[in-house]
Copies of this chain bind each other. A is one copy, B any other.
Amino acid sequence: MQEVRTILLKKSVFEDNDRAADALRAEMKAKGVCLVNVMSSPGSGKTTLLVALIEALKARYRIGVMEADIDSDVDAVTVAKKTGCRSVQLHTDGMCHLDAGMTAQGLAALGEDLDLIFLENVGNLVCPAEYDTGAALNIVILSVPEGDDKPLKYPLVFQNCDLAVVSKLDALPYFTFDLSRCRENVRMRNPGAQVIAVSAKTGENMEALIQWFISKLENF
């Protein structure tokens, strides 16, 4: 009884959110601002990867960052300090995800005159995948230490992504992680998803990731 009730409530919340997300996506498209939603587990190296990406892209695009966190501002401070780009912290106050309404609040705080905005979602492979933020692109980061079986266990986030980034590639010698099996697992969930494996620490294969973004932005 209790479980059924919860699911019904969630459904109505989802429908409201989907409408708000579609409206936000159209608005951003009209302004020519590409919003990228970045999802991953806690500790997958999202912030380190974003800093490296922004360094590589900031001469070409005006970039902003929104960092969602339940209760700290560690990431926003790091990104602002290291890249010098405009950054806001979104405190979710215990919420496990961002929805389109929260994203719109963050965008208003971030201001205008940007080409590319990264939204670092709450570190969580489950709930953020259920709430459309209104982003034009959805990216999931999976780090080598987490294991190549994660697409089997967290289907929705892989099913809904445009790109899966395998991070911490430099840790490959120390963990049993099979990159081909990981690619197969991602493609089982999402045949159209691209998979790019990188190390932000050593720079290995970062160029492929940078080129992926440039090609998406040129065709936005």
Q: Is A71 a contact partner of B123 (Cβ separation < 8 A)? A: no
Among B9, B124, B143, the residue within 8 A (CB) of A145 is: B143
User: Shortest Cβ distance from A109 into chain B, in angstroms?
Assistant: 16
Q: Is B145 a contact partner of A74 (Cβ separation < 8 A)? A: no
Residues of B within 8 A of A69 (CB): 153
Tallying the copies of this chain within the complex gives 2
Residues of B within 8 A of A147 (CB): 43
Interface size on A, residues (CB 8 A): 44
Closest to A122 in B: B126
Known: A96-B124, A124-B127, A171-B171. 14 other contacts (CB 8 A): A2-B13, A2-B17, A41-B123, A42-B125, A42-B153, A96-B126, A96-B127, A96-B130, A122-B126, A123-B125, A123-B126, A123-B153, A126-B127, A145-B145
Interface residues of chain A, those whose CB is within 8 Å of chain B, are 2-3, 5-6, 9, 13, 16-17, 20, 41-43, 69-72, 74, 94, 96, 99, 101-102, 122-127, 130, 143, 145-147, 149-150, 152-156, 168, 171, 174-175
